[in-house]
Amino acid sequence: MLTSTEYSSLVKIPEGVEVQVEGNPVVGYTVRARGPLGENSKFLKFRDVFIEKTEGGIRVYTPILKAKHKAIVGTYTAHINNLIKGVTEGFEYKLKVFYAHFPVKLRVSGGEVIIENFLGETTPRKAKIVGNAKVEIKGQEIIVKGVDIEECGQTAANLERATKIRNKDRRVFQDGIYIVKKP
């Protein structure tokens, strides 16, 4: 299997998880994972990097021994590991609301988190919830959960960015929503 003229990585598939690999190197590969928490998929395409399902798991390899190709093999391996981790354990970001001047009110409405009374502003700020990420608000703590690490991370970043303060001294105005725990 492994020869001296190729670089490869193997991702083991745990029990209770079903992984499918569809596609070819020209069009690209779609890797789908299904597990106890749901289903997730990722499209991966890079020339001369191959993905195949074997008895031991998912094998990612390249016959070209250049640094960029080796890096892409590692990146694809990490993406597939995140797919599997997402459908088995899920991902969770914790954020905390800090305020010293005006009490901030939060609520989830549709696909957005509405941030009211931030710095005493009358117009509410909004942060988009990306994809299938779930947002729970417990007092001054916000929990973002989901099976896709990119959706959860982008939702958490949107919350942080929505409360960014401009044209004021950051040493005095430290109010905002900040990520306190990442997966």
- Parts of the chain with a pLDDT under 70: 1-4
51 within 8 A of 72, measured Cβ to Cβ: no
- pLDDT value for 141: 96
**DSSP line for 22-44:** EEETTTEEEEEEEETTEEEEEEE
Distance (Å, whole) CA 115 – CA 98? 12
Q: Is 11 exposed, middle or buried (0-12, 13-18, 19+ CB in 10 A)?
A: buried
108 φ, ψ (degrees, to nearest 5): -100, 130
pLDDT tens digits, one per residue of 75-96: 999 999 999 999 999 999 999 9
How far apart, in Å, are the Cα atoms of 77 and each of 42, 46, 128, 167?
12, 13, 29, 43
- pLDDT value for 62: 95
- pLDDT value for 173: 84
Residue count of the chain: 183
